[in-house]
Amino acid sequence: MSPVLFVTGTGTEVGKTVTTAALAALHTAPVAVLKPGQTGLAPGEPGDVDEVARLAGPLVHGVELARYPEPLAPDTAARRSGLPTLAPDEVAKTVADLADRFGAVLVEGAGGLLVRYDEQGRTLADLAAACRLAGVDVEFLLVAAAGLGTLNATALTAEALRHRGLALRGVVVGSWPADPDLAARCNLADLPSAAGAPLLGALPAGAADAPAFRELAASSLAPALGGHWDAEAFATAHRPG
């Protein structure tokens, strides 16, 4: 059984959902996609797991454990709405059950790694640690922004994962611009050093609107994630003069 892959980001709006969808699209067997805490949506509105299923296709089994209407950190959103927060044991039980049933499980976090999920300050890292205590093998994939400032955020997230003994499989640029600036081009060489892990993909900006999403996913993610993207060739093609 493959490790459960937790997808986190260097912040909000960096492309976590489209990256999760790209990962799911490259599976040839059913894959479970779990969103522990969805914020910013009313009951009945399509959420991130619905977007993953839309992009990746019918093999996706989506699960959402908690939903809060305001677009805030899960802890703050739960407190303001009067709804219960997520318990790590509940998440671990769900992940273990999905791993038994599907083998392949993707868990998409909210915001960055250390966003609070409850009043005790527990984070996505703590949810992953609870899964590990339950006997589930877990790894992280970090979705990073392309441009200026991403190296610091990437290094901080990677350091937080190492401090907690959580494995980082690699980094994916969640939204590669059509016209990358100097910082973005240089970051292709520097992101692996900042993360202490390989660069495993770069999804183009606007990927969610691509007419052939699976083909785009395969060309944007490295073999370690099921695609055929070549990090060295991509960095060479975008090397600054």
**Catalytic residue from among 35, 61, 116, 132:** 35
- C-alpha span between 83 and 62 (Å, rounded): 22
Contacts 24+ apart (CB under 8 A), 208-213: 208/18, 208/21, 208/51, 208/55, 213/21, 213/22, 213/25, 213/55, 213/56
Catalytic residue flag (residue 35): yes
Element of type H or E holding 201:
strand 199-204
- C-alpha span between 204 and 144 (Å, rounded): 13
- In 94-133 the beta strands, taken as DSSP E runs, fall at 105-112
Judge whether 222 and 141 are in contact, CB under 8 Å: no
123: which 2 tokens? 């984070």
**Calculated CA dihedral for residues 24, 26, 27, 28, nearest 10 degrees:** 140
| Distance (Å) of CA 61 to CA 36, 185, 192 | 14, 36, 32
Q: Annotated active-site positions, please?
A: 35
